[in-house]
Structure 1
Amino acid sequence: MLKLYTDEQYLTPENRSSVFPLLFDLYYTHNLKLLEKYQIVSRMEDCDIAVVPVDVAHFDINNKMIELNGFVDQALALQKKVWVYTAGDYGLSMDRLTFTFRMGGFDSKLNSNTVILPSFISDPYSLLQKEFKAIPKAALPRIGFVGNASNSLIKRVKEVFVYLRYNYKRLTKQLSTDYQAFYPSSIKRYHFLSLLLKSNKVETDFIFRKKYRAGIKTAIEKQKTTLEFFLNMEKNPYNFCLRGAGNFSVRLYETLAMGRIPVVVDTDMRLPLNIEINWPAHCVFVSKDSLEEDLISFHNTISEQIFILMQENNRKLWVEYLEREAYFSKLHSLFKN
């Protein structure tokens, strides 16, 4: 059992969307399996880990950094580990001696106490109402993709506008995040996918969307496009994964949950549980300058048996390490030991 202390006055209905993810499971949804591993205590002196209750940006934006620093200072003075959470696409690097939980960032710039959270998704096979089944290896690599990828002038202008608006909010303290260079992800996707489309050594199965999630407006549209997304993934052993606005890919976790093989463009990502997980055994990491060659080389090298096993292991990896409850169970083991 790990004993956690937090400031429970922040655990209100209004703060549900910004609360530290594990506290959400313990305090709001009362996950019984996680409550067997974690206990919230009422005194900081009695805890193993002091958890800042909400996204650190909440304190910065609301001029409460003194309160945040006081919480951290008190915990460190008691020689407690401190967990902080920085939400959103970009996240905020912390200079304090804390463990910072975030979705992504640049591995070469993150300190050793930065803990990456996976994107917590529901099991896609529950939606498909099917069982996982690996795809045999074919002569050519077959890669799928459904998503926002466009090279139109309108899209280029929109990407620039979104980036400028983000930086304006950073400069005016409406957002509290790290700076990131301009990265028009939908245009980059279009460029990389177009290169694969031209190849006679790769089979492609791509559906290009002009808007995020196809611009859905109704529940029926959401169900239809989500089903189309996962059916494409089900029938293609490889799936193309590129970062979005932040330096992480939700599609990576969706691909693993489907038991397929992510083809990940290397953008200096740090992935979750990187001490526990041998990520090159689960993904094909490709360079932006040699995407086609890297994929073909991998496919030609891997045996039929390992190709099947890799898909099985990817499904297992998601179930045992990256599904929400599984992830926090693994985290418990890491910090308990």
Structure 2
Amino acid sequence: MIKIYTDTTFITPANRKIVFPLLFELCYLKNVNLLEKYKLVDSISESDIAVLPVDINFLIKNKQQSYLNDFISVAKAQNKIIWAYSAGDFGKTVQDDIYLFRLGGFNSKMNDKTNILPSFIHDPYGKFIQKEFVILEKESIPSIGFVGNANGSLKSLLKEFGIYLYVIGLNIKNNFYSDYQSFYPSGYKRYQLLKKIKADSRVKSDFIFRKKHSSASLDTSEIKKTTIEFYENMYENPYVFCLRGLGNFSVRLYETLAMGRIPVVVDTDIRLPFHKSIDWKRHCVFVTEVNFVDQLLRFHDKISNQDFIEMQENNRKLFLNVLSRENYFVEWCKKNQNK
């Protein structure tokens, strides 16, 4: 059992959405499985791992940098492993000698102790679509699906730039609580890349373009309808196009894995969960923005029927066994106990 110390004064109803994800399971949900593997202790000296209780971005925004520094200093003085959580689209880089958990960032700029959290989503089977997971057989022509925000208009491009400037302004105003990222118009980029796929007769495309994210709608019934369409599209197509959003990560990638389908990932210098132990090339097709259709076709031509089937099965298993919030930290428990 791994002994965890944290500052429990932060474990309040108001902080449910900003606590370190493991603490959400241990303190709010009282997850029995994880409580058998992690034990909360009352002092740093008793602990194996000292966990900063809340999102470090929150601490910086709220002028609690000194608290952040003091927590780290005390834990380091006692030679404790330190875990910290950085939420949000951009995330925040901190010193090298702590384990940082974040949603995204740039692989080439992150150190070895920076760990990517999956997007913790619900299992779509049963919740969003009333079907069971089935394998799609390999066909001669690859079929790729996509449902989502993709808009090639100048107005959309300018809107994305406006949102970007707003986020950058908040960052400056709030003590640089997150890393700087250059402008990346993901909605505009998606449209341009998907248009190239649609025009290529060597690929079967099944796309539904939306001019805004479904969450932007105020109509609950419409959100439900579009969510079902989103997952039905994945259900019908073995490949799913995945490109980053405002931050350098893709929630759609995890949704694709949950459906047991194959993500076609435009690699924008991303890092994925357990990047040292999971061979992500066995789960995704990684492509670049240049010649990406040719890269998909080469992959599809080379993969055997059996491997095509097993890839879908393994992606579904990866979601169920590793990428849920509970099993993600079960996996971390195994890794710490093996050290």
> What's the TM-score once normalised by structure 1's chain length?
0.98
**Equivalences for 1:81-120 in 2 at 5 Å?**
81-120=81-120
- Secondary structure at 1:170 match in 2: helix
Q: Deviations over 1:92-134 (max 9, x none)?
A: 0002511000001000000000011000001011222221111
CA distance in 2, matches of 1:100, 1:323: 18
Task: For 2:262, give the aligned amino acid.
Answer: I
**What is the deviation of 1:156?**
1.1
Residue of structure 1 in register with 2:208 after alignment: 207
**What is the deviation of 1:219?**
2.6
**What is the deviation of 1:259?**
0.4
Residue of structure 2 in register with 1:150 after alignment: 151
CA distance in 2, matches of 1:211, 1:6: 40
**What is the deviation of 1:233?**
0.2
Residue of structure 2 in register with 1:271 after alignment: 272
Residue of structure 1 in register with 2:236 after alignment: 235
Is residue 126 from structure 1 mapped to residue 121 from structure 2 by the alignment?
Answer: no
Is residue 293 from structure 1 mapped to residue 301 from structure 2 by the alignment?
Answer: no
- Secondary structure at 2:148 match in 1: strand
Is residue 64 from structure 1 mapped to residue 43 from structure 2 by the alignment?
Answer: no
Aligned length: 337
Task: For 2:11, give the aligned amino acid.
Answer: L
Deviating more after overlay: 319-328 vs 183-192: 319-328
Deviating more after overlay: 45-54 vs 209-218: 209-218
Is residue 163 from structure 1 mapped to residue 164 from structure 2 by the alignment?
Answer: yes
CA distance in 2, matches of 1:3, 1:209: 47
Residue of structure 2 in register with 1:176 after alignment: 177
Task: For 1:71, give the aligned amino acid.
Answer: F
* Paired residues of 1:84 and 1:99 also in contact (CA < 8 A): yes
Structure 1: 4+ residue segments shifted above 2 A: none
CA RMSD of aligned residues (A): 1.1
User: 1:37/1:214 Cα in 2 relative to 1: closer, same or farther (>3 Å)?
Assistant: closer
Residue of structure 1 in register with 2:36 after alignment: 36
- Secondary structure at 1:83 match in 2: strand
Task: For 1:134, give the aligned amino acid.
Answer: I
CA distance in 2, matches of 1:85, 1:262: 26
* Paired residues of 1:147 and 1:214 also in contact (CA < 8 A): no
* Paired residues of 2:51 and 2:83 also in contact (CA < 8 A): yes
Deviating more after overlay: 167-176 vs 130-139: 167-176
* Paired residues of 1:239 and 1:262 also in contact (CA < 8 A): yes
Residue of structure 1 in register with 2:226 after alignment: 225
CA distance in 1, matches of 2:336, 2:146: 37
Task: For 2:247, give the aligned amino acid.
Answer: G
CA distance in 1, matches of 2:17, 2:263: 29
* Paired residues of 2:206 and 2:233 also in contact (CA < 8 A): yes
Tell me the percent identity: 51
CA distance in 1, matches of 2:207, 2:148: 8
**What is the deviation of 1:214?**
6.6
Residue of structure 2 in register with 1:280 after alignment: 281
- Secondary structure at 1:177 match in 2: coil
* Paired residues of 1:148 and 1:214 also in contact (CA < 8 A): no
* Paired residues of 1:91 and 1:104 also in contact (CA < 8 A): yes
